[in-house]
Amino acid sequence: MIVITAKFLVKPEDADFWPAIAADFTAATQAEPGCLWYQWSRSLDNPNEYVLIEAFRDDDAGAAHVQSAHFKAAQEKLPPHLVATPLIINTTVSGETWSELGEFAVHD
């Protein structure tokens, strides 16, 4: 699977509204057949920074994502709300789901 983590530094006046600003793109991406997950989190250190964690089944699913109409629309809609170009880590790993973090296992 392709796993991507990206940091989006949002303009301060837009930061509280970022989930709504990105909502259509988020929903459309989550509905893609090759999308395993697509989740936003807000930084605890910087309230203007959002971190996106996304995964796609394979290269074909990743290619379909960046070629989709909703991706092209987001390329126009999202940048005006950003302070800087987002930063990204993109890697390919085996599997199609999260693994347990055994070092913090919860015991009954």
What is the pTM (predicted TM-score) of this model?
0.92
Point out which residues pair with 24 in neighbouring strands.
Answer: none
Task: Name the CA radius of gyration of the chain, rounded.
Answer: 15
Residue 99 carries which DSSP code? -
How confident is the chain (108 residues) per 10-residue block, as mean pLDDT? 98 98 98 98 98 97 97 98 98 93 93
Check residue 58 and report its DSSP letter.
S
Which among 71, 79, 83 has a CA at the least distance from the CA of 38?
71
Q: What pLDDT score was predicted for residue 108?
A: 84
pLDDT number for residue 53: 98
CATH code reported for the domain at 2-93:
3.30.70.100
Q: Given this model, what pLDDT does residue 15 score?
A: 98
